[in-house]
């Protein structure tokens, strides 16, 4: 009879611990983290000249490739993410060219960064993220171009 009681106690404790493990991460999430990372209603568009293309981010910048775009207001760090410069339908040889950029400005690690959704160069639009802000892989971009789908 004592063994049965012990087993029930262990089961109750295990259920309580499982409940705590599930509840703590939900409670620990702050209001800022629960908002969408990329909000299409906050998109901005601007034009400028590409003053630099970084294939890998130096220390202190967000990971992935970046464009440094010179505008009237100053230089903007435009993050292309992991796949912005990769694949057949990727940006290439744009240093010094005039570009139109669409994206959302975010503060990441204390720095202002533009999360780029699309870049227009020489009349061609390069889609980097979808309307939800999810970066598109080279394969996804190529499939969409072949099918003629809007991104």
Q: What is the pLDDT of residues 46-68, one digit of tens each?
A: 999 999 998 887 777 777 899 99
Residues 9 and 55 in one domain: no
In this prediction, residue 121 carries a pLDDT of 94
Enter the tokens of residue 69.
Answer: 């775009």
Residues 61 and 17 in one domain: no
Residues 104 and 87 in one domain: yes
**What range defines the domain where residue 14 resides?**
2-34
In this prediction, residue 102 carries a pLDDT of 96
> Cα(30)–Cα(61) distance, rounded to whole angstroms?
23
92-127: per-residue pLDDT in tens?
Answer: 889 999 999 999 999 888 888 999 999 999 998 888
Count CB atoms within 10 A of the CB of residue 11.
Answer: 10
Burial class (CB in 10 A: 0-12, 13-18, 19+), 61: middle
What's the CATH number where 118 sits? 2.40.50.140
More confident residue, 53 or 89: 53
10-59: per-residue pLDDT in tens?
Answer: 666 666 566 555 444 444 444 444 345 788 899 999 999 999 998 887 77
Q: Does the model's pTM come out above 0.75?
A: no
| Domain total in the chain | 2
Confidence of residue 150 (pLDDT cuts 50, 70, 90): low
């Amino acid at each position: 009879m004592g063994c049965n009681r012990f087993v029930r106690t262990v089961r109750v404790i295990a259920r309580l611990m499982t409940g705590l493990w599930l509840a703590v991460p939900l409670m620990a999430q702050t209001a800022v983290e629960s908002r969408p990372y990329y909000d299409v209603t906050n998109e901005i568009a601007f034009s400028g000249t590409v003053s630099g293309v970084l294939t890998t981010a130096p220390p202190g910048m967000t990971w992935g490739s970046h464009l440094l775009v010179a505008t009237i207001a100053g230089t903007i760090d435009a993050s292309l993410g992991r796949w912005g410069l990769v694949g057949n339908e990727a940006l290439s040889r744009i240093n010094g060219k005039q570009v139109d950029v669409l994206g959302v400005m975010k503060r990441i690690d204390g720095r202002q960064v533009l999360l780029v959704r699309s870049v227009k160069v020489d009349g061609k639009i390069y889609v980097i993220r979808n309307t939800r802000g999810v970066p598109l892989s080279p394969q996804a971009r190529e499939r969409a171009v072949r099918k003629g789908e809007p991104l």
